[in-house]
Chains A and B, each alone.
Chain A
Amino acid sequence: MPIANRSANQSTRPEGQSALAIDPIDTQSLQEVGIFVNGNHRSGTFLLRDNEAVCATTGQEELEMLPIAEALARYRWLREKYWWRAVTPDTDDVTARIAADQEPRGLFVRVKQGARVSLPCQAAMYVASNDTIQIAHNVMIIEDDAELTMITGCATRHGLTAGRHWAVTESYIGRNAVLTSTMVHSWGKDVIVRPRAGTVVEAGGRYISNYVSLHPGASIESNPKTWLNGVGASASYVSVILGSPGSITDIGGEITLNADDTSAEISQRGVSTGGKIYQRGFLVGNARGRAHVNCAGMLLDSSKEGLITSTPGLKAVSPDATLSHEASIGRIAADQVAYLQARGLTEEDAISMIIRGFLSANIVGLGPELDARIDEIAALASAAAHT
């Protein structure tokens, strides 16, 4: 569903209506975070520009994408059963501020029971004006036996430096449903980003969350939480972060095993070229299940301004919970770079290949979207390390 050819002022609109002018510079910024303005190869599109939902369309009945205000007005059950159930308003200042919003802004996604949406849908949280405080409250519901791949791109317009992005995302994954979420961030250098997320997974459900931070802005703090509430539910978090100079990236993740035969994996990968990266991952075993958290960092910074801390944590309440963790931080080994150079690779290509390998090591099934972003991080980090 193309963003162009849509009316600018309608929140949802059928195909073929008047064009929404997307500045080429915006098209480029969005494309860098996986959002295709032409909507090719996507099952649906949502675009929040600053605080205006300028597009919400889908190409199939089983997949609903609406501005959240419209969804709240349409579905009473949304407020009764889901609204502020996976994240609470009193969590912190960010959630309190979003809860106080009189006109909720954000995205509602619903995949109806049994529907398997073959193409990914895409959502853009886009800050186009300087000093904007973008506020979003998103709710995603994947009903029983349904399946969705979601690509969320969060970015600022090229050249824009200052702004804030505060968001709450609540996700509900039904029995035997699957949500694969890939989120890519690319922010202006002084942007402050505070996403808050909670996900509930029912029996046999699966939640796969991939997060890639290409340009972290001034500061990102995020600690998404997932509760595996049904037997056999599973979740995995993969975070791939580039910590560029002057940035602070604090990425956590908590997964709680509340039912038997649940499983979880958290994989954090960070490369610092001068930024501060705080990696966290916390697993709680309240029932029989297996979970592992792995935090790995690569420090390429020679200015001594960058740092990486890795803090995996475990809490077992049930004796039947098998939890494990590992953490490592290192630098690129010169002998490995030289080895690849002896095969004809340039130093930059060798470093890039090693960083690429580090970022994706032991992470299976990344998919082409994430592969492309990881290549991009590897190239950026390699260029920074090479200079």
Chain B
Amino acid sequence: MANVLEIHDLHASADGEEVLSGVSLDIPDGEVHALLGPNGSGKTSLIMTIMGYPAYKITSGQIIFAGHDITAMGLTERARLGLGISHQRPPTVAGVKLRQVLDYALGENPELTGEFEQLVKQAKMQEFLDRDVNAGLSGGEIKRSEILQLLITRPRLVMLDEPDSGVDIEALDVVGAMLNTLFARDPDHPVKRRSGLVITHTGHILQYVDTDKAHILMNGKIGCSGNSRLVFQTVCNSGYEECVRCILRQEEEA
């Protein structure tokens, strides 16, 4: 299966500090990968850099998305090419209503107009459509709003920054159901689905999203990759300290 995303030795900085120190990562088309790592390891920086946020400057390396070299491409171009992101702490956009953003997206995907009401209802966001984007939302409401926007914009690859953080158990069911829709199998191709990269700390979300592979990011680079369950169990049992030791061993052997 061709890779939808290929990252080659990516270095990036934010506020003058290096945040990515040689990340290499491939995601085959239709696969969903989990991204784990301790706080400050660079997980959010990685997806913000892939998305093209101007605050994250690529200093070297290459990003190939859907066959296009997007390394020097702007944020809008990347979004229009099919990259999407769900933020952990999105900004409040005063005066701009959620409905306006969704309407804009619907303009790009008019075939979704019929499903709009149903998607909004599933997200339980009816009462938030005419409020300012992200203003006064709880943790769960933010996740629902973010994923709803992805369901409407329909990116080819979605990057989710801790979709389970700050979400209570009841709300997690709603978020989980939305993620099921987001990663639903293509009705025309039973084994195809949307590609994804999901950051998670707790692993709760892995109950709702089948991931094909997991990666551990340590100090701005991928420390190891493997089966999602095994990787997550290892982290749960031994913490990231074991990962540090493992990486050190690999470096010594090399």
Residue A4 CB within 8 A of the other chain? no
CA distance A113 to B53 in the complex (A): 61
With contacts A334-B54, A357-B132 taken as known, whether A341 is within 8 angstroms of B76 at the C-beta atoms is yes
User: Is the CB–CB distance between B104 and A345 below 8 Å?
Assistant: yes
A342 and B95 contact, Cβ closer than 8 Å, known pairs A334-B54, A349-B104, A353-B100: no
With A344-B79, A357-B132 given, is the CB distance from A335 to B91 under 8 Å? yes
A380 within 8 A of partner (CB) = no
Chain B minimum-CB-distance residue to A361: B95
The bracket for how many chain A residues form the interface is 20 to 34
Residues of the B chain whose Cβ atoms lie less than 8 Å from the Cβ of A345: 76, 101, 104
B244 at the interface (CB under 8 A from A): no
Residue in A335, A342, A346, A353 whose beta carbon sits within 8 Å of that of B96 in the complex: A353
Residues of A within 8 A of B177 (CB): none
Min CB distance, B97 to chain A, in Å?
8
Residue on A with the closest CB to B134? A339
B79 touches A357 (CB 8 A): no
Quick check: is B87 within 8 A (CB to CB) of the other chain?
A: yes
Instruction: Say yes or no: A339 contacts B95, CB within 8 Å.
Output: no
Taking CB atoms, residues of chain B closer than 8 Å to A335 are 55, 91
Contacts known (A339-B87, A342-B51); A357 close to B104, Cβ less than 8 A = no
**CB atoms of B108 and A344 under 8 A apart:** yes
Kindly state whether residue B7 has any CB partner on chain A within 8 Å: no
The yes or no answer to B1 lying at the interface (CB within 8 A) is: no
CB <8 Å contact, B96 and A340: yes
Inter-chain contact B104/A354, CB cutoff 8 Å: no
* Residues of B contacting A361 in the complex (Cβ-Cβ under 8 angstroms): 94-95, 132
Q: Is the CB of A339 within 8 A of B104?
A: no
A376 within 8 A of B: no
Contact of A333 among B74, B90, B91, B101 (CB under 8 A): B91
Q: How far is the CA of A346 from the CA of B76 in the complex (A)?
A: 6
A360 at the interface (CB under 8 A from B): yes
- Complex-state Cα separation, A114 to B93, whole angstroms: 44
The answer to whether A347 has its CB under 8 Å from any CB of chain B is yes
Instruction: Give the shortest distance, in Å, between A338 (CB) and chain B (any CB).
Output: 5
Contact indicator A338/B75 (Cβ below 8 Å): yes
Contacts of A336 in B (CB 8 A): 91-93, 96
Over the window 349-364 of chain A, the binary record of Cβ atoms lying under 8 Å from chain B Cβ atoms (1 yes, 0 no) is 1000110111111000
Partner of A357, one of B55, B91, B94, B105: B94
Chain B residue nearest to A358 (CB atoms) is B95
Q: Within the assembled complex, what's the spacing in Å between the Cα atoms of A349 and B51?
A: 18
* Cβ-based interface call for B219 (8 A): no
A143 to B30, CA, bound (A): 70
- Whether the Cβ atoms of B79 and A354 lie closer than 8 Å is no
A343 within 8 A of B: yes
* Contacts known (A344-B76, A357-B132); A339 close to B91, Cβ less than 8 A: yes
User: In the complex, what residues of A have CB within 8 A of residue B91's CB?
Assistant: 333, 335-336, 339
Q: What chain A residues lie within 8 Å of B100 (beta carbons)?
A: 353, 357
Whether the Cβ atoms of B96 and A357 lie closer than 8 Å is yes
B93, A338: Cβ atoms closer than 8 Å: no
Contacts of A340 in B (CB 8 A): 93, 96, 101
Contact of B75 with A342 in the complex, beta carbons under 8 Å: yes
**Residue on A nearest B83 in the bound complex, by CB:** A342
29 cross-chain CB contacts under 8 A: A334-B54, A335-B55, A335-B91, A338-B75, A339-B90, A339-B133, A340-B93, A340-B101, A341-B74, A341-B75, A341-B76, A342-B51, A342-B53, A342-B84, A342-B85, A343-B105, A344-B104, A344-B153, A345-B76, A346-B76, A347-B74, A349-B104, A353-B100, A353-B104, A356-B96, A357-B97, A357-B100, A358-B95, A359-B95
Given A336-B96, A346-B76, A356-B95, 6 more pairs with CB closer than 8 A: A335-B55, A336-B91, A338-B53, A339-B87, A343-B79, A344-B76
The interface of chain A, by Cβ under 8 A from chain B, is 333-336, 338-347, 349, 353-354, 356-361
Which residue numbers of B lie inside 8 Å of A, CB to CB?
Answer: 51, 53-55, 74-76, 79-80, 84-85, 87, 90-97, 100-101, 104-105, 108, 132-133, 149, 153
